[in-house]
């Protein structure tokens, strides 16, 4: 199977003010423009208030912009929500959906993630659909079943390799300093690849990202694992040197 082009996505979460975001995004955009041909795509997902200024700052670079969430509606009386049309207007090409923090902190179900993905796809956005088990679920031997259920419930009909990315993020490895072993990652990504067959046309071309305390010191090993098509990076994405080091670990 031909390897998919890696995607290195930075989830800034609720971090950064305007000056911070512009500095970070401009730094990364400059590195990309000066690097010549690279073997990866790079994406930053700032908090909502930073989307327009960051989008304008990176508009003439290969650095892509994404949102951290979107509503399943295009407009209306939905206080605090952000429509996919608004993300597109800000210059976004991607949107993260179903992140474990959204599922846990806001009670988002698979059906909610599915509806959001449908709305994102209608606006031409690539949905990065997140799945992953908790430590208790893994210890109970339920990791594969949990991820299978999330995939089945969250991926909408009509999803394609062009409009959908899957991010596997073991919940117990997000922001904890713990990292799944390469063998753990290989096994789960192989399981996800098999589960995508029949759910998405040309499933072998769907990019499956690993997310969970990815750092410069483990990126080379993780990015070399079979069926790992990039990374969804949290804390390390807030430092240009670290994020760039993760991206350039791709081969």
Catalytic status, residue 191: no
3-state secondary structure of 36: coil
Catalytic residue among 101, 169, 189, 195: 169
3-state secondary structure of 231: strand
**Of 188, 176, 173, nearest to 228 (Cα)?**
188
Q: Which long-range contacts (CB under 8 A, 24 or more apart) does 157-162 make?
A: 158/118, 158/121, 159/117, 159/121, 159/127, 159/199, 159/200, 160/200, 160/201, 160/202, 161/200, 161/201, 161/202, 161/203, 161/205, 161/206, 161/207, 162/126
Catalytic residue among 99, 133, 189, 195: 99
Q: At what angle do helices 216-223 and 240-247 cross, to 10 degrees?
A: 20
Catalytic status, residue 56: no
Catalytic residues: 99, 169
């Amino acid at each position: 199977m031909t390897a998919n082009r890696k995607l290195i996505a930075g989830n800034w979460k609720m971090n950064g003010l305007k000056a911070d975001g512009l500095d970070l995004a401009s730094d990364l955009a400059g590195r990309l423009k000066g690097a010549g041909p690279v073997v990866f795509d790079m994406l930053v997902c700032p908090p909502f208030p930073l989307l327009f200024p960051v989008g304008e700052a990176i508009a003439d670079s290969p650095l892509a912009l994404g949102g951290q969430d979107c509503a399943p509606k295009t407009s209306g009386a939905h206080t605090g929500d952000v429509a996919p049309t608004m993300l597109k207007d800000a210059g976004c090409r991607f949107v993260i959906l179903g992140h474990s923090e959204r599922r846990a902190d806001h009670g988002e179900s698979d059906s909610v993630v599915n509806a959001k993905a449908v709305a994102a796809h209608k606006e031409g956005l690539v949905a990065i659909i997140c799945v992953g088990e908790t430590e208790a679920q893994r210890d109970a031997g339920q990791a594969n079943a949990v991820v299978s259920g999330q995939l089945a419930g969250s991926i909408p009909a009509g999803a394609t390799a062009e409009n959908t990315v899957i991010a596997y993020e073991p919940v117990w490895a997000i922001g904890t300093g713990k990292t799944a072993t390469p063998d753990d990652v290989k096994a789960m990504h192989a399981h996800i690849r098999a589960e995508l067959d029949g759910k998405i046309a040309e499933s072998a071309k769907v990019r499956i990202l690993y997310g969970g305390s990815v750092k410069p010191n483990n990126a080379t090993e993780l990015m070399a694992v079979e069926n790992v098509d990039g990374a969804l990076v949290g804390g390390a994405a807030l430092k240009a040197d670290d994020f760039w080091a993760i991206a350039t670990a791709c081969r």
